[in-house]
């Protein structure tokens, strides 16, 4: 059982922390709630005590014999602050220790997850952004807030992500770490997920069976390892992982435009989406009707752009590091890995994650197994497991490349 500290600050989103607390306790974790004084204006201590089964820790000078301002942080396996106000971000960034929660943050030597929630103007203020950058540079995982309804009639960026999504990131941070600091800290990651659609008419489209689950897991795992993550999702209906900046697209052309525009700002690009290889040469403005004589319409196709190959061709000095995905089946001419190695050479990416999709494997499933091929001839077998574990294994390989890449050495 892990020991989790849940810090709660004085924002209207504090009520959501009660649901997050329930998720931790029902998963078997011990939770010590440390609310600020202002948090008590929104949720009473009786709620925290009833849900955690423990007395609430509130003041530095309460229970002095057990030295709570030091001991709580020292015993923690994970510290989560949700919601985190602009005031908490400022005090934590400047190393203040003016209440029990900021003392706990200073003494903790475990992963720290901070989940901001505030009005858009406060989140976008240069002071807040500088404080977030400072905390991330020190190893804290600071999630991006959601866009949505805020206090009153306001809508914008600053909403607390749903508790289930915060818990998913926390669960990844509780995994055994190779080092004290997240290994993607400071790395800017661009991930694509899902399958594109090419419309024949307003109703019908050409597409594929990609659900986006693996790409979403790649983004989720990257956030948990400290990366700043942008996600471009094509027709994905799954919940967006907490802490990512999301852009939605439909067609391959839209996906290509977003990836080409954003790739120069990324350190790592993971092309997990499945773009449609072809699109109709023409798209009907109204639904195509059946012919009275039963004749099927003739469908003319043209090739879509090869996004991964373009990213490889246009990058400079080997940046960003490119990770492609290949859904392959073997045939009479070659095996799955033979086809994949040819694709890796043709595309020009650094790594290629290979799925054997024979008999419908990998599509819209909760688990997967892959082989990660590298341009230097290496092959890393990742055994079957949940897609979030597959994603972690992929990042293990990427981090090895970053550590040995002179272009990235200063960023790790």
Residues designated catalytic? 208
Do the bridges between strand 268-271 and strand 244-249 make them parallel or antiparallel, or are there none, so unpaired? Answer: unpaired
Q: Are 226 and 186 in contact (CB under 8 A)?
A: yes
- Strand runs labelled E in 184-227: 188-194, 198-199, 205-206
Q: Would you say 203 and 251 are in contact if contact means Cβ atoms under 8 Å apart? A: no
What CA–CA distance (Å, rounded) separates 238 from 242? 12
β-partners of residue 8 are 35
33 Cβ contact partners less than 8 Å away, ≥ 6 residues apart: 6, 8, 21, 48, 49, 52, 54, 56, 57
Rounded Cα–Cα distance for residues 233 and 279 (Å): 19
Cβ(278)–Cβ(301) under 8 Å? Answer: yes
What per-residue string of b and e applies to 238-265 under the rule 16 or more CB within 10 Å gives b? eebbbbbbbbebbbbbebbebbeebbee
Give the pair of three-digit tokens for residue 26: 């029902």
DSSP string, 121-188: HHHHSHHHHHHHHHHHHTT-EEPPPEEEE-STT-EEEEEPPPHHHHHHHHHHHTSPPSSSS-TTTT-E
**Which pairing describes strands 198-199 and 205-206: parallel, antiparallel, or unpaired?**
antiparallel
């Amino acid at each position: 059982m892990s020991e989790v500290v849940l810090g709660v600050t004085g924002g209207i989103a504090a009520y959501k922390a009660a649901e997050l607390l329930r998720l931790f306790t029902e998963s078997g974790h011990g939770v010590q709630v440390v609310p600020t004084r202002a948090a008590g204006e929104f949720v009473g201590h009786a709620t925290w005590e009833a849900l955690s089964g423990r007395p609430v820790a509130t003041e530095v000078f309460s229970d002095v014999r057990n030295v709570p301002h030091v001991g709580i942080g020292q015993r923690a396996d994970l510290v989560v602050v949700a919601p985190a106000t602009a005031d908490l971000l400022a005090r934590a960034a400047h190393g203040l220790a003016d209440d029990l929660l900021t003392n706990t943050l200073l003494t903790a030597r475990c992963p720290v997850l901070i989940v901001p929630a505030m009005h858009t103007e406060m989140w976008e203020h240069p002071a807040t952004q500088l404080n977030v950058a400072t905390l991330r540079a020190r190893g804290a995982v600071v999630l991006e807030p959601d866009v949505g309804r805020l206090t009153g009639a306001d809508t914008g960026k600053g909403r607390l992500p749903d508790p289930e999504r915060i818990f998913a990131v926390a669960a990844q941070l509780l995994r055994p770490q190779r080092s004290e600091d997240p290994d993607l800290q400071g790395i800017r990651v661009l991930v694509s997920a899902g399958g594109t659609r090419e419309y024949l008419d307003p109703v019908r489209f050409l597409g594929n069976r990609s659900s986006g689950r693996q790409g979403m897991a790649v983004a989720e795992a990257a956030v948990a390892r400290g990366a700043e993550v942008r996600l471009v999702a094509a027709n994905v209906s799954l919940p967006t992982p907490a802490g990512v900046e999301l852009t939605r697209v439909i067609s391959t052309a839209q996906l290509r435009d977003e990836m080409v525009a954003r790739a120069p700002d990324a350190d790592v690009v993971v092309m997990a989406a499945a773009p449609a290889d072809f699109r109709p040469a023409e798209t009907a403005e109204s639904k195509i009707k059946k012919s009275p004589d039963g004749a099927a319409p003739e469908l003319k196709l043209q090739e879509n752009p090869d996004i991964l190959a373009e990213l490889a061709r246009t990058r400079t000095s080997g940046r960003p590091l490119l990770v492609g995905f290949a859904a392959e089946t073997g045939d009479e001419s070659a095996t799955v890995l033979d086809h994949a190695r040819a694709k890796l050479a043709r595309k020009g990416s650094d790594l290629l994650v290979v799925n054997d999709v024979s008999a419908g494997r990998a599509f819209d499933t909760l688990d997967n197994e892959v082989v990660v091929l590298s341009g230097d001839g290496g092959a890393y077998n990742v055994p079957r497991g949940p897609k979030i574990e597959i994603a972690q294994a992929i990042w293990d390989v990427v981090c090895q490349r970053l550590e040995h890449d002179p272009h990235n050495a200063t960023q790790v």
